[in-house]
A and B are shown apart, each in its own frame.
Chain A
Amino acid sequence: MEESDVTSSVKALLIGGSAGSLQVLFNLLPSLHHDLPFAMIVVLHRRHSADSALSELLATKSVLPTHEVEDKDVIRPGHIYLAPADYHLLVEKDETFSLDYSEKVNFSRPSIDVTFESAAEVYGSSLAALLLSGANEDGTKGLMYVKKMGGITLVQDPETAQMPYMPHYAMLHAVIDQVLNIRQMSHYINNLR
């Protein structure tokens, strides 16, 4: 059904980031249009306690309604969802979220791989995933799976990343469709359909 519906083929954009990625979001979010036709799902590694302030902070940077996910929240286009600290964030077939308090993956909870893989299962080719700055390997497996399921894979240009390791590692191991600096990201996302 999605194939014929060319105008809204991407249903979700995933963004994963670790060290150095917050600054990217602070620059990126204000430049995004208010009527994006897909959901944005953001998974950031963060320190355990510096908690709910983050979603409020991100909300001030964007005209799009921004939420820290609670269990079973419904995923709606044009909204930004942030993975809560200390839970893995999963996507269910009925396009709701569920949370999982299981072991850390890549020393991380939330893990970017976990959310990317789970979203790829549900959205298949109607998915784009962007990996930002970071100092570990989380996200690469997730991008590989997104690609395998027919989605679009994007990374921040390591040259522009505060911590180039994470996007660079992804470029070495996964097939990446686009390598973008912040300005290009904003253009790309605003035109993504």
Chain B
Amino acid sequence: MIEDEEVEILLTDLVDIYGYDFTSYSRASLKRRIIRLVSIDKFPSFAEFRYKVRTDENYLKRFVEEITVNVTEMFRDPSFYKSLREDILPVLGTKPFIRVWHAGCSTGEEVFSMAILLKEAGLLRKSLLYATDLNPSVLDKVRKGIFPLQQMKHYSESYIESGGLKDFSEYYTANYGQAKFDRELSEKIIISTHNLVSDSSFNEFDLILCRNVLIYFDKDLQDRVLKLFDASLGTLGYLALGTKETLKFSVIQNKYKQLNREKIWKKVM
């Protein structure tokens, strides 16, 4: 058992020693992740766990990796991607240049899905996809563009459901149980660490995707991050969130209009 106060102590340590600020994360999920980590790494007590986090920088790396949830998929929620294809890309296509930001991209499955959409719309050449996350280890995987081959059947089904017409396997080379995605896609992806809690706006975008990241933040931090997105979106830019996330009741809701049933908003002011 871990007490709430112990969680707070640990979070304060992380700010003081490493500058990682998790204090505005949703507590229920955070506590569950901490308990899980203490258990799988078999720490006999919270004190020993805390000591390890405080003193071992390599363990800190593991801590951040395990505390943040990195689960992701290609073409997750196919109807969302279908709407990107049909409603958003035709509009973005009229621009001379397209900048997309995947904030909290994890291992990059979403970024490669987007690159495929852009390619099929004939827009990849004039696009750049910025892939950011606070966790450097997931970004190494984005850089490689290699995903487990066993997932491809599921991804291919979702791809088709999203309106994809090609043979999905054209996009990767299979090797030793791995699928390596085409260079043509990865060439357009710019990778960088970026912490939504502490880093600021770094460019102006036409489309920002931040899916299943805000669910880990409390309401105040959500508002702060939404303001950051607002400051990083050009006029008439689009903001896409996860299927259970919303701009409703947020500080920026009045400046945005939801397009359809999907969680995509257009900046109208």
**Partner-B contacts on A (CB < 8 A):** 69-72, 84, 87, 90-93, 98-103, 114, 117-118, 121-122
Decide yes or no: A121 and B28 within 8 Å by CB, A71-B214, A99-B215, A101-B215 being known contacts: yes
Q: Give complex CA distance A91, B243 in Å.
A: 19
Whether a CB of chain A sits under 8 angstroms from the CB of B16 is: no
Q: What are 13 A-B contacts defined by CB distance under 8 Å?
A: A71-B242, A84-B244, A87-B215, A87-B244, A90-B26, A90-B28, A98-B26, A99-B244, A100-B28, A100-B215, A101-B69, A102-B69, A117-B32
Docked-complex contact A70 and B26, CB < 8 angstroms: no
Docked-complex contact B27 and A70, CB < 8 angstroms: no
Whether a CB of chain A sits under 8 angstroms from the CB of B178 is: no
Decide yes or no: A118 and B32 within 8 Å by CB, A90-B26, A98-B26 being known contacts: yes
Whether a CB of chain A sits under 8 angstroms from the CB of B23 is: no
Decide yes or no: A90 and B29 within 8 Å by CB, A99-B215, A100-B69, A103-B71 being known contacts: yes
Of all chain A residues, the one with the shortest Cβ separation from B213 is: A101
Q: Give complex CA distance A121, B30 in Å.
A: 13
A-facing residues in B14-34 (Cβ within 8 Å): 26-29, 31-33
Docked-complex contact B32 and A114, CB < 8 angstroms: yes
Q: Give complex CA distance A72, B226 in Å.
A: 15
The total of chain B residues at the interface (CB under 8 A) is 20
Docked-complex contact B32 and A90, CB < 8 angstroms: yes
Whether a CB of chain A sits under 8 angstroms from the CB of B245 is: yes
Docked-complex contact B29 and A100, CB < 8 angstroms: yes
Q: Give complex CA distance A173, B149 in Å.
A: 39
B71 partner residues in chain A, CB cutoff 8 A: 101-103
Docked-complex contact B27 and A101, CB < 8 angstroms: no
Q: Give complex CA distance A69, B244 in Å.
A: 8
A99 partner residues in chain B, CB cutoff 8 A: 215, 244
Docked-complex contact B246 and A71, CB < 8 angstroms: yes
Q: Give complex CA distance A101, B27 in Å.
A: 15
Whether a CB of chain A sits under 8 angstroms from the CB of B54 is: no
**Partner-A contacts on B (CB < 8 A):** 26-29, 31-33, 69, 71, 212, 214-216, 219, 222, 242-246
User: How far apart are B78's CB and chain A's nearest CB, in angstroms?
Assistant: 9
Q: Give complex CA distance A69, B222 in Å.
A: 17
Docked-complex contact B215 and A98, CB < 8 angstroms: yes
User: How far apart are B225's CB and chain A's nearest CB, in angstroms?
Assistant: 13
For the complex with contacts A99-B244, A101-B242, A102-B69, 8 further pairs of A-B residues with Cβ separation under 8 Å are: A72-B222, A90-B26, A90-B32, A93-B27, A99-B215, A100-B28, A100-B69, A118-B32
Of all chain B residues, the one with the shortest Cβ separation from A70 is: B244
Q: Give complex CA distance A97, B234 in Å.
A: 32
A71 partner residues in chain B, CB cutoff 8 A: 214-215, 242, 244-246
Docked-complex contact B214 and A102, CB < 8 angstroms: no
Contact of B28 among A87, A98, A103 (CB under 8 A): A98
Q: Which of B27, B33, B215, B244 has the most CB of A within 10 A?
A: B244
Q: Give complex CA distance A122, B71 in Å.
A: 26
User: How far apart are A147's CB and chain B's nearest CB, in angstroms?
Assistant: 15
B245 partner residues in chain A, CB cutoff 8 A: 70-71
Q: Give complex CA distance A150, B246 in Å.
A: 35
Docked-complex contact A100 and B244, CB < 8 angstroms: no
Q: Give complex CA distance A3, B216 in Å.
A: 33
Of all chain A residues, the one with the shortest Cβ separation from B70 is: A102
Q: Give complex CA distance A70, B244 in Å.
A: 5
Of all chain A residues, the one with the shortest Cβ separation from B33 is: A102
User: How far apart are B67's CB and chain A's nearest CB, in angstroms?
Assistant: 10
Docked-complex contact B244 and A91, CB < 8 angstroms: no
Q: Give complex CA distance A157, B29 in Å.
A: 32
Of all chain B residues, the one with the shortest Cβ separation from A97 is: B28
Q: Give complex CA distance A93, B7 in Å.
A: 14
User: How far apart are A4's CB and chain B's nearest CB, in angstroms?
Assistant: 24
A117 partner residues in chain B, CB cutoff 8 A: 32
User: How far apart are B267's CB and chain A's nearest CB, in angstroms?
Assistant: 21
Of all chain B residues, the one with the shortest Cβ separation from A96 is: B219
Of all chain B residues, the one with the shortest Cβ separation from A91 is: B28
Q: Give complex CA distance A92, B212 in Å.
A: 17
Decide yes or no: A100 and B32 within 8 Å by CB, A70-B246, A71-B214 being known contacts: yes
Of all chain B residues, the one with the shortest Cβ separation from A104 is: B71
